[in-house]
């Protein structure tokens, strides 16, 4: 018998927390569907983040149903045990195993979903469910909801109201507690160590793919199940493509290498970018761009504390990066005019960061009813200013063409400021050069 990957009390605590806020509505979460890659080969399976967040259960074809203050309060529907299928595809907990191992009140076969859900949802006026993520789950729920409506006869009542479960659960996932943070910290630690390993490995002539292998080795040797997003291993002007992931070129003497890679540990993802010279020594042109971006990144991190607005961090980043563009001779004229015309977006087209957690671009709102929200203790996000100068940009000083720099750290907001979870990966010029000198 397999065991759940984590202590299941964690998931029980999370369910308790959300049950208190359901206000009498039921919640239904569907497992992520399996995706066919070709013929009978599937893509690597990863459970839906919300399903894992509330159960720790990693099998497809399953549902969680929560009925606040009812008996049973937590219900799951899972695949039956099937010795033949398990011989091919691996262990299944089955209804009984799931009930015992995952501390769920009642667990039924997935084949009974429609029949049982009709019984279990009777009397509810609202449910939380995320439509359109899993078409098969949507179709099954449609049968349940139409049957419930039909059962009301001509009383005039319609379908149960469906509210967005992802929005509801996103607010819990955004504010991380100690259970969440233990995983988040570990994901960031593993990710930092892998960036260090890459810095020690890189030299002229190695391929981007080999660098990826070094990082991947470090991730898996330290317990990461997978990555939080595709590796970006971008040497030279490849770094000016934001989500470059061909990773098939040779790293050349004199070029920078931008690595954006994050390990996923217990479903929490790191998201670190470091940019460093392939030969271990920044050129003076590279230094000018790199130090400029680094100063801005550090200034923003130093400002973070509860009460600040995330969008203001973005604004400050954009403002400072535009100053840097003028200093470097990338823009000319009046700053105000350049910003109004969005000229700075040519060299810095993305935002300052994003919520970070189980999904690399994590759940949770940035605005509430159109108003920006202040950041709070327990929120995790990235700070990732960058400057990207296309290789064919004739308007840029020649020595800067083809340089792409991004520096990305992962932050958790604390009561009075923030903790940087990715300090393990060096980013000061002298620290990087010193580390690389040891190769």
Q: Which does 359 bind (CB under 5 to 8 A by kind): ligand GLY, Mn ion, none?
A: none
271 is an active site residue: yes
Point out the catalytic residue in the list 129, 268, 388, 409. 388
Nearer to ligand GLY, 76 or 272 (CB): 272
Q: Please report how close the Cβ of residue 409 comes to ligand GLY at its closest, in angstroms.
A: 11
| 195 annotated active-site | no
CA dist., res. 110 & res. 118, Å (int): 14
Q: Are 190 and 424 in contact (CB under 8 A)?
A: no
Q: Does 409 bind Mn ion (CB under 5 A)?
A: no
260 among known catalytic residues? yes
Q: Interface with Mn ion includes 218 (CB under 5 A)?
A: no
* 410 belongs to the binding site for Mn ion (CB under 5 A): no
**Which of 363, 347, 344 has its CA nearest to residue 355?**
363
Examine residue 180 and tell whether it contacts Mn ion (CB under 5 A). Answer: no
Task: Summarize the chain as % helix, strand, coil (round to 5).
Answer: 40, 20, 40
Active-site annotation holds for 267: no
Q: Which is nearer to ligand GLY, 57 or 268 (CB)?
A: 268
Please identify which of the residues 46, 209, 226, 354 carries the catalytic annotation: 354
Catalytic residue (choose from 260, 264, 359, 362)? 260
Which residue's Cβ lies closest to ligand GLY?
260
Catalytic annotation, pick one of 166, 193, 271, 362: 271
Nearer to Mn ion, 353 or 402 (CB): 353
Complex with Mn ion: residue 30 or 199, whichever CB lies closer: 199
Least Å distance, CB 406 to ligand GLY, is 8
Instruction: Count the neighbouring beta carbons within 10 Å of the beta carbon of residue 219.
Output: 27
Q: Which residues bind ligand GLY (CB under 6 A)?
A: 229, 260, 271, 354, 360, 384, 408
What is the three-class DSSP state of 347?
coil
Tokens of 385: 């200013």
Under rule CB under 5 A, residue 58 binds Mn ion: no
Site for Mn ion contains 382 (CB under 5 A): yes
The total of other beta-carbon atoms located within 10 Å of residue 45's CB is: 15
Residue 27 in tokens? 């919640």
Q: Does 255 bind Mn ion (CB under 5 A)?
A: no
Q: Which is nearer to ligand GLY, 335 or 361 (CB)?
A: 361
DSSP state letter for 89: H
Task: Determine phi and psi for 423, rounding to 5 degrees.
Answer: -65, -15
Residue 247 in the binding site for Mn ion (CB under 5 A)? no
Catalytic residue among 20, 40, 371, 398: 40
Q: At what angle do helices 429-437 and 178-201 cross, to 10 degrees?
A: 60
Residue in 140, 361, 373, 401 annotated catalytic: 361
Does the active-site annotation cover 32?
no
Single out the catalytic residue among 220, 350, 373, 401: 350
For the CB of residue 383, give the shortest distance to Mn ion in the complex, in Å.
9
Figure out which of the listed residues 260, 359, 362, 409 binds Mn ion, where binding follows CB under 5 A. 260
Q: Which residues of 184-211 are buried (b: 16+ CB within 10 A; e: fewer)?
A: bbbbbbbbbbbbebbbebbeeebebebb
| Residue pair 424/189 in contact by the 8 Å Cβ criterion | yes
Return the one option of ligand GLY, Mn ion, none that residue 229 interacts with (CB less than 5 to 8 A, by type). Answer: ligand GLY
Annotated catalytic, 384? yes
Per-position b or e across 373-394, b if 16+ CB within 10 A of its CB: bebeebbbbbbbbbbbbbeebe
What is the closest distance, in whole angstroms, from the C-beta atom of residue 99 to ligand GLY in the complex? 38
**Closest CA relative to residue 357, chosen from 137, 197, 169:** 169
CB 94 within 8 A of CB 111: no
Q: Which one from 59, 180, 384, 409 is the annotated catalytic residue? A: 384
> Minimal distance in Å, beta carbon 139 to ligand GLY?
33
| Nearest distance in Å: CB 260, Mn ion | 4
Residue (255 or 271) nearer to ligand GLY, CB:
271
CA 77/CA 109 separation, integer angstroms: 5
**Residues in 268-297 at the binding interface with Mn ion, rule: CB under 5 A:** 271, 273
Active site includes 243? yes
Which of 183/269 has CB closer to Mn ion?
Answer: 269
Q: Which is nearer to Mn ion, 260 or 264 (CB)?
A: 260
CA 37 – CA 225 distance, rounded (Å): 20
Torsion-angle region of residue 33: left (phi > 0), alpha (psi -120 to 50) or beta?
Answer: beta
The string of DSSP letters for 113-151 reads HHHHHHHHHTT-SEEE--TTS-HHHHHHHHHHHHHHHHH
Q: Which residues are catalytic?
A: 40, 243, 260, 271, 350, 354, 361, 384, 388, 406, 408
**List of residues contacting Mn ion (CB under 5 A):** 260, 271, 273, 382, 408
């Amino acid at each position: 018998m397999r065991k759940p990957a984590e202590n299941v009390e964690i998931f029980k605590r999370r369910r308790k927390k959300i049950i208190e806020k359901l206000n009498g509505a039921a919640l239904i979460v569907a497992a992520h569907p399996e995706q066919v890659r070709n013929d009978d080969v599937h893509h690597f399976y990863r459970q839906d983040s919300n399903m894992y967040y509330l159960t720790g259960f990693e099998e497809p074809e399953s549902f969680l149903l929560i009925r606040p203050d009812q008996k049973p309060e937590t219900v799951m529907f899972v695949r039956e045990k099937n010795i033949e299928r398990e011989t091919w595809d691996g262990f299944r907990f089955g209804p009984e195993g799931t009930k015992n191992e995952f501390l769920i009140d009642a667990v039924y076969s997935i084949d009974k979903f429609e029949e049982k859900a009709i019984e279990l949802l009777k009397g509810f006026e609202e449910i939380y469910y995320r439509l359109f993520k899993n078409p098969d789950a949507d179709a099954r729920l449609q049968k349940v909801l139409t049957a419930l409506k039909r059962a009301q006869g001509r009383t005039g009542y319609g379908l149960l109201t469906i509210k967005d479960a992802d929005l509801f659960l996103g607010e819990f996932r955004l504010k991380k507690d100690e259970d969440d943070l233990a995983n988040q910290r570990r994901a960031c630690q593993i990710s930092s160590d892998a960036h260090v390993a890459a810095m020690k490995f890189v030299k002229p002539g190695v391929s981007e793919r080999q660098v990826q292998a070094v990082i991947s080795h470090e991730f898996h040797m330290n317990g990461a199940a997978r990555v939080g997003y595709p590796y970006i291993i971008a040497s030279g002007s490849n770094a000016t493509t934001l989500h470059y992931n061909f990773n098939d070129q040779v790293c050349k003497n004199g070029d920078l290498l931008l690595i954006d890679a994050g390990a996923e540990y217990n479903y929490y993802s790191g998201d670190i970018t470091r940019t460093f010279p392939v030969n271990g020594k920044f050129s003076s042109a590279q230094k000018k761009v790199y130090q400029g971006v680094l100063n801005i990144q550090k200034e923003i991190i130093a400002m973070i504390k509860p009460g600040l607005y995330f969008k203001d961090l973005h604004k400050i980043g954009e403002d400072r990066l535009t100053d840097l563009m003028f200093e470097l001779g990338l823009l000319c004229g009046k700053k105000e005019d350049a910003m109004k015309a969005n000229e700075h977006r040519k060299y810095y087209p993305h935002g300052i960061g994003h919520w970070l957690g189980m999904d690399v671009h994590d759940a949770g709102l940035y605005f509430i009813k159109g108003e920006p929200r202040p950041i709070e203790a327990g929120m995790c996000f990235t700070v990732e200013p960058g400057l990207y100068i296309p290789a064919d940009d004739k308007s840029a000083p020649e020595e800067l063409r083809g340089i792409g720099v991004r520096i990305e750290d992962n932050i958790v907001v604390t009561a009075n400021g923030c903790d940087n979870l990715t300090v393990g990966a060096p980013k000061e010029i002298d620290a990087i050069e010193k580390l690389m000198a040891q190769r």
